[in-house]
Amino acid sequence: MTIHIGAQKEDIAETVLLPGDPYRAKWAAETFLTDVKLVNQVRGMLGFTGLWNGNRVTIHGSGMGMPSLSIYVNELIRDYGARTLIRIGSCGGMQNSVAVRDVILAMTASTLSTPSRGIFRDLNYAPCADWSLLSAAAKAAEKRGVKTHVGGIYSSDIFYDERPDLNDQMVRHGILGVEMEAAELYILAARHKCRALAVLTVSDHLLTGEALPSADRERSFGDMVEIALNAASP
């Protein structure tokens, strides 16, 4: 057990999917895994381990934002031996070529700051995805016929951001979407020699103001879970 995860060491699989929302973790585990066991519920942050195509997989909530994700990912890697970590979440679209419901595979995650900022000092470290996961996810998405974009995203600390000029620069520089967790995930994976990827559904759009109706969210989320499970399978 760790401070934030009540599981026994053997309860957590080497492959971990990380939705922000703990109830999405529950839904994904109950929908896609067999032999599902609840392995964590400390502070309501739910984690489940089960089998997918015979492979052990844990699906564990990360919470919202990089400080929350950093707590769970540090403990999952350092105390539980997680080696492959895939964020499954939503993002806001930032290019006209990107539509609500599309999937974005985050090749890189730009930031202003992360919980790891202090150790880099003046270095603008470039957090990037694991290539083997990225290419496997791109193939899985193509096979499912899901409209997918591969490129850079922006991991923000602020959902209600009142600096439109900053978003303009992101758009100008080809950033596909904005979310709040991937950069720190990529940095922690690099530090601990793990593999990481963020698979994101576009749930809203910063340029058009469109938002995914809640009825559509489950199906889009399901596509993402299946892409992540396929990418992680050995």
Name which of 103 and 136 has its Cβ closer to ligand ADE.
Answer: 103
Dist. CA 108–CA 200, nearest whole Å = 13
Site map (CB under 6 A) of ligand ADE, residues 39-78, x = contact: ----------------------------------------
**Interaction between residue 120 and ligand ADE (CB under 6 A):** no
Give which of 134, 171, 130 is closest to 153, Cα–Cα.
171
* Binding positions for ligand ADE, 126-185, rule CB under 6 A: 156, 159, 178-180
Site map (CB under 6 A) of ligand ADE, residues 190-219, x = contact: -------------xx---------------
Residues belonging to the active site: 204
When binding is defined by CB under 6 A, the residue of 46, 85, 88, 91 that contacts ligand ADE is 91
The distance of closest approach from Cβ of residue 135 to ligand ADE in the complex, given in angstroms and rounded to an integer, is 25
Name which of 84 and 156 has its Cβ closer to ligand ADE.
Answer: 156
**Interaction between residue 90 and ligand ADE (CB under 6 A):** yes
Per DSSP bridges, beta strands 47-52 and 34-40 are antiparallel
Please, what is the end-to-end C-alpha distance for the chain in angstroms?
A: 27
The distance of closest approach from Cβ of residue 34 to ligand ADE in the complex, given in angstroms and rounded to an integer, is 30
Q: Which residues bind ligand ADE (CB under 6 A)?
A: 90-92, 156, 159, 178-180, 203-204
